Amino acid sequence: MKILVAIKQVPARDSLLTAAASGKWIDESNLEYEINEPDAYALEEALQLKEAHGGEVVAVCAGPDRASATIREALAKGADRAIHIAVDDIVDWDTLATAKLLAAAVKTEAPDLVLTGLQSDDVGAGQAGVVMAELLGLPHATIIMQVDIEGGMLRVKRELEDGWFQHVGMPLPAVLTIQSGIKKLRYATLMGIKKAKTKEVKTLTPGELGVSHVASYELVGVTLPQKSKQTQMVKTVAELVEKLKNEVHVL
């Protein structure tokens, strides 16, 4: 079974974010990057499915040069090879345009299963998987907590709201978006890191994939959110305890 996993590189989770001088995006000059967490779970699920059913795991990632660090990490964890869609201005590509790049790369591989995280920690549109499915003409399901494969059919456990779940069946090939926490994440081993250096990474450009950059929305500007409540900031523990006692009346 050939499984493709679409992964994204995002700013590290505890980054302190400020708007860039242009006001159109965050200031990226001093950021560190990491794999988007839900995509790490999608990769983990792919690796475990391969361990159970055999086959191959191919990671695909769209981004500038820096994305190669995230691709190497996926290879170190056990992906067999990778596709790097080289796009310097990836942050200017909207949800649909980015998904078109990913779908075009997936199409060249004709996989049995495509996995990705349910959303990204940066833009958070939560759509790449579903849009890819439509572009590829494949069935899909989202927010998946369990994947079972039997006789060319897929049976997945979807998370619904308020603690509800639902099993859904569908034929392969298909696209699934994976919920964080589906399995325990593995760490890359030293051996894995060493091996990753020799694994194949194919680089493709949007032009080679036949995808042109068309926008369906324009990002006007980014700002820090306004506070909706009047937050009283306290400096000391004593001050906080005084508030809990005299204003909140819980002590």
Partner 1 sequence: MSGILAVLEAGHKLSAETLAAAVDLGAKLGLSVHSVEPGGTYTADGFTDGLAELIRTKQFQVVLFPHTYQVRDFAPKLATRFDRSLISDVIRLRVDSGVLFVTRQLFQGKMNAEIKPLGEPVFLSLQAGAYRAGEAEGVVVEAMPAAGAAPRQKPEEKFREAARAVDLSAAPIIVSVGRGIKEKENLSLIEDLAGALGAEIAASRPICDNGWLPMERQVGSSGQTVAPKLYVAVGLSGAIQHLVGMKGAKTVVAINKDENAPIFEVADYGMCADLFEVLPALTAAIRAAKG
CA gap 212, 249 in Å, rounded? 61
Does residue number 240 form part of the binding site for partner 1 (CB under 8 A)? Answer: yes
Tell me which stretch binds partner 1 (CB under 8 A): 50-58, 64-72, 169-177, 190-198.
169-177
Q: Which residues between 171 and 200 bind partner 1 (CB under 8 A)?
A: 171, 179-181, 184
Nearer to partner 1, 108 or 124 (CB): 124
Left if phi > 0, otherwise alpha if psi is -120 to 50, otherwise beta: which for 198? Answer: alpha
- By CB under 8 A, name the one of 27, 51, 66, 166 that touches partner 1: 166
CA gap 218, 162 in Å, rounded? 34
Token readout for 59 is: 């990671």
Does residue number 48 form part of the binding site for partner 1 (CB under 8 A)? Answer: no
Strand-strand pairing, 140-150 and 153-159: antiparallel
Does residue number 20 form part of the binding site for partner 1 (CB under 8 A)? Answer: no
Does residue number 99 form part of the binding site for partner 1 (CB under 8 A)? Answer: yes
Residue 125 C-beta: closest distance to partner 1, Å: 5
Does residue number 64 form part of the binding site for partner 1 (CB under 8 A)? Answer: no
Beta-bridge partners for 84 = 61, 203
Does residue number 19 form part of the binding site for partner 1 (CB under 8 A)? Answer: yes
Tell me which DSSP letter residue 90 carries.
G
Altogether, the residues listed in the chain come to a count of 251
Tell me which stretch binds partner 1 (CB under 8 A): 50-58, 68-76, 134-142, 187-195.
134-142
Token readout for 217 is: 């929305």
Does residue number 28 form part of the binding site for partner 1 (CB under 8 A)? Answer: no
CA 204 to chain centre: 20
CA gap 46, 90 in Å, rounded? 25
Q: Which residues between 77 and 96 bind partner 1 (CB under 8 A)?
A: 94-96
Does residue number 125 form part of the binding site for partner 1 (CB under 8 A)? Answer: yes
Q: Which residues between 141 and 160 bind partner 1 (CB under 8 A)?
A: 141-143, 158-160
Handedness of CA 144, 1, 39, 23 (dihedral sign): negative
CA gap 167, 169 in Å, rounded? 7
Tell me which stretch binds partner 1 (CB under 8 A): 58-66, 73-81, 162-170, 197-205.
162-170
Other Cβ atoms less than 10 A from the Cβ of 220: the count is 7
Does residue number 7 form part of the binding site for partner 1 (CB under 8 A)? Answer: no
Nearer to partner 1, 119 or 196 (CB): 119
